[in-house]
Amino acid sequence: MKRNTVAAFSAFSAFSALADPTREAIVRLLLDGERSVGEIAERLPVTRPAVSKHLRLLEGAGIVRFESVGTRNVYSLDPAALEVLRDEVDALWKRALARYALVANNSAPKKGNRR
Amino acid sequence: MNTTVPLPVRQRVIVALAADDAFELFTRGIARWWPFGGHSCSGDAALDVVFEPRVGGAVTEIARGGAKHPWGRLTAWSPPDHFRMTWHPGQDPAAATVLSVRFAAVEGGCEVAIEHGGWEALGERADEARADYDGGWAFVLGRFAATVTGGAS
């Protein structure tokens, strides 16, 4: 079930991942450095399993990363997250300009330089 | 937390239209091609995006039923060559990034070049925000995310 949640995230994973107040609160906590699931749960009005679920979504979206330190499982912000978001802006414009070109070329006047 | 500000997104496409027609389709004709599903404030209810054609003019999404959602403001308007706008669909103007679009006549048509950047300005505002509350990085991420989702909620 856990894995399904992550897999359900598609093209706009990073954006959807941040569009949630609890996940944004988690990202804010991680600004100060790495934290375990338990440490995050102590500071937010949500249960540990809920925190784990949110963290897996954020991890699947490339926003946070996970590391096992001894018996502790700690999460931290992934420095590459902004690049992930940039790639999605890039993907938006790729899609938009492809549609623009299709409409433009279909409405091109049939005079002059026909190909 | 050190983060590197990404480079602007740059893309170009050549279409078989004269520059003035290409400019017209991109702006007044945007409803004919913009992928509203997934990239608008009102989703499937989005009908059009209206450019108030002057520097300082508003760019506004219009939804079925008449609801209006600001996308940004024009900071340059020089048809048929160029326009530039702040970009903050459904978000506070403080979260704006910058979109610049150029139209240049080439053999067989017009080259349309977009540049979507201004992430570094978000970073500066994030630093200011950080002085007040511990949300600088989340602010950048969240606002950056908003540049594409249109803040659909």
**Alpha-carbon gap: A81 to the closest alpha carbon of chain B (Å):** 8
Which domains are assigned to chain A?
2-95 (1.10.10.10)
**Alpha-carbon gap: B9 to the closest alpha carbon of chain A (Å):** 6
Q: Packing angle between helix B136-149 and helix B119-132, nearest 10 degrees?
A: 140
Write down the pLDDT at residue A103. 96
Tell me the mean pLDDT in the region B96-109.
92
Question: Cβ of B41: how many Cβ atoms within 10 Å?
Answer: 24
Sign of CA dihedral B122, B123, B124, B129: positive
Q: DSSP 3-state assignment of A25?
A: helix
Contacts of B141 in chain A (CB under 8 A): 18, 27, 63, 81-82, 85
Give the range among A4-18, B15-29, B104-118 with minimum mean pLDDT.
A4-18
Write down the pLDDT at residue B122. 59
> Is B9-149 a domain of CATH 3.30.530.20?
yes
Q: Is the pLDDT of residue B136 over 60?
A: no
Residues 6 or more apart whose Cβ sits within 8 Å of residue B109: A108, B14, B15, B16, B17, B18, B22
Q: Give the bridge partners for A36, in sequence order.
A: A74
pLDDT in tens, B77-91: 999 999 999 988 766
- Euclidean distance between CA atoms B87 and B90, whole angstroms: 10
What number is the ipTM of this complex? 0.83
Q: List residues in chain A touching B: CB distance below 8 A.
A: 12, 14-16, 18-19, 24, 27-28, 31-32, 63, 77, 79, 81-83, 85-86, 88-90, 92-105, 107-108, 113, 115
In this structure, what token pair is assigned to residue B52?
């108030």
Alpha helices (runs of H) in chain B, residue ranges in sequence order: 19-26, 119-132, 136-149
What's the pLDDT band for B25 if we cut at 50, 70, 90? Answer: very high
